[in-house]
């Protein structure tokens, strides 16, 4: 099976990671690569790690350039995917790595993104209940945000099993590639190395409604999420600490059983043995999520720690995993299970 794939937005971090994975995918033939301000440049100058594509040139993001592919990945700024997707045929698999089609509720979209809601596509987090079925054969995929992937996988088993109260508290640390390649002073190496900092405190981060949507669906009732992101001095990785009050009578055994059941057959979720705790270094460059769960008896809270690579499972790897499902390929095809460490 030969699948021809185009990537719109190939000069950014998400696009670069996607290309790294597609190069290793046995069924993918890499077609058009497009950019906006970078159109006309050699990929070797923009993504120097992609030795195999160093001589490829970026083209502009036009319908003509994107035509003639089986799959088109959109790694565009938020709000730009809908216009491009409209111009692609219904028979083309379109995988949107932006936020545009993630939220089901128009009101939540408009409150957090300030523009009209474009619609809702099947959600590319196969581990969530019902998600895998919705992706099979789909021609449209909304890839989740990196934080919502980490947090939803951390908490949905507790909510699905009815063990947690519907008020989640999440603090997550992200590597700076999560902020993209934008030239902002606080993202300079001299500023971020050796420093942890906060941003988007107080509920304003755009990934918040997406987390609430996923956890509410799992719980069968509205779940609020207090989400605080932090910026960590590393290029990649998310370490999320997610917690909620345990429902009365919840035991540590109940909790562990719920997670063991939820992840028994999931190839990319590694529920760690007791006594070991997640580290982003262990999943660097891989599509694996490390998860560990604990019950704090004194505080009466369920604490779940999850670690993933924001560019791999958190974006491009999740996109490829969902593409595999949509195309009918084995879900693990072309995806690294093992991290690059140390």
Which residues are the active-site residues? 146
- The residue among 48 and 63 lying less far from a copy of itself, judged by its C-beta, is 48
Q: Which of 232, 308, 316, 327 binds a copy of itself (CB under 8 A)?
A: 232
Q: Tell me the chain's radius of gyration from C-alpha atoms.
A: 19
Two tokens at 23? Answer: 């190069």
Residue 129 binds to a copy of itself (criterion: CB under 8 A): no
Measured CA distances, 196 to 179, 191, 229, 289 (Å): 14, 10, 11, 22
In angstroms, what is the minimal distance from the CB of 307 to a copy of itself?
7
Token pair 């719920």 is found at 258
Residue 261 binds to a copy of itself (criterion: CB under 8 A): no
Q: What is the DSSP letter of 272?
A: P
- The residue among 112 and 132 lying less far from a copy of itself, judged by its C-beta, is 112
Q: Which of 25, 56, 102, 236 binds a copy of itself (CB under 8 A)?
A: 236
- The residue among 189 and 248 lying less far from a copy of itself, judged by its C-beta, is 189
- The one segment of 43-51, 62-70, 115-123, 141-149 that binds a copy of itself by CB under 8 A: 43-51
Token pair 């057959």 is found at 265
Q: Quick one: CA torsion of 13, 15, 17, 22, rounded to 10 degrees?
A: -170
- The one segment of 58-66, 71-79, 82-90, 163-171 that binds a copy of itself by CB under 8 A: 163-171
Residue 282 binds to a copy of itself (criterion: CB under 8 A): yes
Burial class (CB in 10 A: 0-12, 13-18, 19+), 40: exposed
Separation CA 231–CA 195 (nearest Å): 8
- The residue among 116 and 203 lying less far from a copy of itself, judged by its C-beta, is 203
């Amino acid at each position: 099976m030969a699948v021809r794939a185009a990537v719109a937005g190939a000069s950014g971090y998400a696009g670069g990671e996607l290309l790294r994975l597609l190069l290793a995918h046995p069924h993918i033939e890499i077609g058009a690569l497009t950019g906006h301000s970078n159109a006309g440049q050699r990929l070797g100058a923009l993504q120097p790690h992609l030795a195999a594509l160093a001589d490829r040139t970026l083209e502009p993001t036009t319908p003509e350039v994107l035509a003639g592919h089986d799959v088109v990945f959109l790694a565009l700024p938020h709000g730009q995917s809908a216009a491009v997707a409209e111009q692609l045929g219904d028979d083309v698999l379109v995988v949107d790595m932006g936020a545009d089609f993630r939220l089901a509720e128009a009101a939540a979209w408009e409150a957090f993104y300030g523009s009209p809601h474009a619609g809702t596509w099947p959600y590319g987090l196969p581990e969530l209940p019902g998600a895998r079925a919705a992706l099979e054969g789909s021609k449209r995929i909304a890839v989740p945000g990196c934080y919502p992937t980490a947090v939803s996988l951390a908490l949905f088993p507790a909510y699905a099993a009815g063990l947690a109260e519907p008020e989640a508290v999440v603090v997550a640390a992200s590597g700076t590639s999560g902020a993209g390649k934008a030239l902002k002073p606080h993202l300079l190496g001299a500023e971020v190395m050796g420093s942890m900092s906060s941003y988007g405190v107080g509920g304003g981060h755009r990934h918040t409604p997406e987390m609430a949507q996923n956890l509410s669906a799992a719980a069968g009732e509205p779940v609020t999420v207090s989400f605080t992101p932090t910026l960590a001095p590393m290029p990649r990785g998310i370490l999320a600490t997610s917690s909620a009050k345990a429902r009365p009578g919840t035991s540590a055994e109940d909790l562990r059983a719920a997670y063991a059941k939820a992840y028994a057959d999931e190839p990319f979720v590694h529920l760690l043995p007791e006594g070991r705790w997640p580290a982003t270094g262990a999943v660097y460059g891989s599509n694996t999520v490390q998860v560990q769960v604990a019950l704090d008896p004194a505080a009466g809270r369920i604490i779940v720690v999850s670690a993933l690579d924001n560019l791999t499972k958190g974006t491009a790897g999740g996109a490829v995993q969902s593409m595999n499902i949509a195309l009918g390929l084995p879900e693990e095809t072309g995806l690294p299970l093992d991290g690059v460490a140390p």
